[in-house]
């Protein structure tokens, strides 16, 4: 199932970020508050 994931605001002037590492693959189960990626 596709879900929207919100990224916390990094600062007042930061509008976007780049994903450095993904910790999950498509189809993996995700728990609440689990880290999905490093930005």
Domain ranges of the chain: 1-39
Q: How many CA atoms lie less than 13 Å away from 31 in the CB half-sphere?
A: 3
Q: Are 20 and 38 in contact (CB under 8 A)?
A: yes
CA distance linking residue 27 with residue 3, whole number of Å: 12
What per-residue confidence (pLDDT) applies to 3?
80
Assessment of whether the complete model's pTM goes beyond 0.75:
no
Calculate the dihedral angle through the C-alpha atoms of 12, 18, 24, 28, rounding to the nearest 10 degrees.
80
- Give tens-digit pLDDT for 1-39: 778 888 888 888 988 889 999 999 988 999 988 999 998
Calculate the dihedral angle through the C-alpha atoms of 39, 32, 4, 26, rounding to the nearest 10 degrees.
80
What per-residue confidence (pLDDT) applies to 29?
92
11: number of Cβ within 10 Å: 6
């Amino acid at each position: 199932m596709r879900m929207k994931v919100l990224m916390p605001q990094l600062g007042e002037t930061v509008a976007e970020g780049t994903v450095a590492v993904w910790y999950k693959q498509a189809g993996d189960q995700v728990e609440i508050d689990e880290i999905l990626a490093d930005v």
